[in-house]
Structure 1
Amino acid sequence: MIDRDAVALDDPVGESLRGHHTHLARRSGRAAGYLPEVATFSTVSADPDPAEWADLARLLGRGELADLFSCPATPPADWEPVFRFGGFQMIRPAGSPPGRADAETDPEIVELGADDVPEMLELTGRTRPGPFWPRTRELGAYLGVRENGALAAMAGERLHPPGWTEISAVCTAPEARGRGHAARLVRALVTRITSRNERPFLHVSDANIGAIRLYERLGFTVRRRVTFRGFRTP
């Protein structure tokens, strides 16, 4: 069955930059991207012409990373490929029950703020859940679990197309794994998102079988296969 409410997820970066994240965007002509310390993602239209690629090159600068996320458009031949890997876009199906009422009141889950950024960068640097930069937390709410005062696990909100919020940066320090922290954090975020009458979605590498199984247990299903790609501007 086609989920018509999910059309915005075909271009989650562009829809976010045109909507909830306009204040975090930079633009040149028809190309757009996030401010550098917020996220590396940039976007063009579904069928960009040479002028639009020139707009994106001008926006990013010479020899810079064009992180096209899941955009399927192919850059000009002189844009050097940097990375390419497969993944899935997962959603909670329409009609899924809302998040658990007790998930957001979990006493061990804390909201992370500006003072926590050094620890957030250290944890994401160790666990590599995806790109995370000094201002990434400005994209939405980020939650964490501490053990003996140290940040042991975190997860937060990233892309925000109309009617949806992406759950991202789900990670746990190696020494704290196996204690259910990731599941608790995702449940808390699902509760927050559904309380706003929005639906949660996420992206995951197709090689991360453990994460895929976790998300399936938490009620997420695969909406579509995606390919993440990055290029170097000429």
Structure 2
Amino acid sequence: MVGHDDALVLDDPVGRSLRGPHAHLARTVGRAAGYVPAVATFCALPADPDAADWADLAELLGPGELADMFSNAAPPPAGWEPVFFLEGRQLVLPAGAPPGLPSTAGVVELGPDDVPEMLDLVALTRPGPFWPRTLEMGTYLGVRDNGALVAMAGERLRPPGWTEISAVCTAPGARGRGHAARLVAALAARVVARGERPFLHVAEANTGAIALYERLGFTTRRHVTFQGYRTPGSP
């Protein structure tokens, strides 16, 4: 079972995932790492990258590509164009705290055949990055209404001992029915059952989601700034 000190891996969740449980989904050049295309745009550098590390990342991604640095606060060299900055927070389920357990009735596991519907739901609700192969990062669960996928959530980053819950979204016409709570609780229970701890990230402005996660037992570990840059050169 993961211990209290192991929360330090959450300071670099992308890098620790790519060098650990998600190594099979990683591509690397030197100390720069990123997910293979269509899985995720997240990439990672050491906490104190030097010019050579940034050059390796530029080589890894190619010219004019998005370097989604997640919450790595290291400033890039000149020539890297800022793309986005988003204030957010990282929440964890405290050790020994059972996840909230709303009814999981109607929750189903999603697979490759469901990806087109999952992409449509993400395009409609915009919960955050989700690509054609993101499903390979972990288990995804959904709720269907008359056969149509109306809500989903899944596992994303996997730093050792932890699993991130992400892509929590519900179609506008299906909100207010507790789908998000059931999905997050079901995923958290699975994570805890295998001896890991759940965590998640949320935009600071999404107060409704923060309140939901706190009701399910999650607490804020730290505030973060999500940021991305464009690599130098033209694609």
Q: Are the equivalent residues in 2 in contact too, given 1:99–1:192 (CA < 8 A)?
A: no
Confirm or deny that 1:163 pairs with 2:155. no
Q: Percent identity?
A: 71
**Residue 150 of structure 1 is aligned with which of 148, 151, 155?**
148
Q: Unaligned regions of 5+ residues in structure 2, if any? A: none
**Letter of the structure 1 residue corresponding to residue 218 of structure 2:** F
Q: Distance in 2 between matches of 1:66 and 1:170?
A: 23
Aligned length: 230
Give the match's secondary structure for 1:204: strand
TM-score by length of 1: 0.96
**Residue 203 of structure 1 is aligned with which of 197, 201, 204?**
201
Alignment partner, residue 93 of structure 2:
92
Alignment partner, residue 5 of structure 2:
4
Shift of 1:98: 5.0
Q: Are the equivalent residues in 1 in contact too, given 2:100–2:216 (CA < 8 A)?
A: no
Shift of 1:18: 0.5
Give the match's secondary structure for 1:118: helix
Shift of 1:107: 3.7
Shift of 1:3: 4.1
Alignment partner, residue 187 of structure 2:
189
Shift of 1:36: 1.3
Shift of 1:93: 1.1
Q: Distance in 1 between matches of 2:193 and 2:51?
A: 43
**Residue 110 of structure 1 is aligned with which of 103, 108, 113?**
108
Q: Distance in 2 between matches of 1:88 and 1:33?
A: 22
Q: Distance in 2 between matches of 1:98 and 1:122?
A: 29
Name segments (4+ residues, structure 1) moved above 6 Å: none
Q: Distance in 2 between matches of 1:31 and 1:5?
A: 23
Aligned pairs (5 A) from 1:1-234: 3-97=4-98, 100=101, 106-234=104-232
Shift of 1:184: 0.3
Q: Are the equivalent residues in 1 in contact too, given 2:38–2:132 (CA < 8 A)?
A: yes
Shift of 1:97: 2.1
Shift of 1:5: 2.3
Q: Are the equivalent residues in 2 in contact too, given 1:99–1:194 (CA < 8 A)?
A: no
Give the match's secondary structure for 1:230: strand
Shift of 1:65: 0.3
Give the match's secondary structure for 1:159: coil
Give the match's secondary structure for 2:108: strand
Q: Distance in 2 between matches of 1:152 and 1:98?
A: 23
Q: Unaligned regions of 5+ residues in structure 1, if any? A: none
Give the match's secondary structure for 1:26: strand
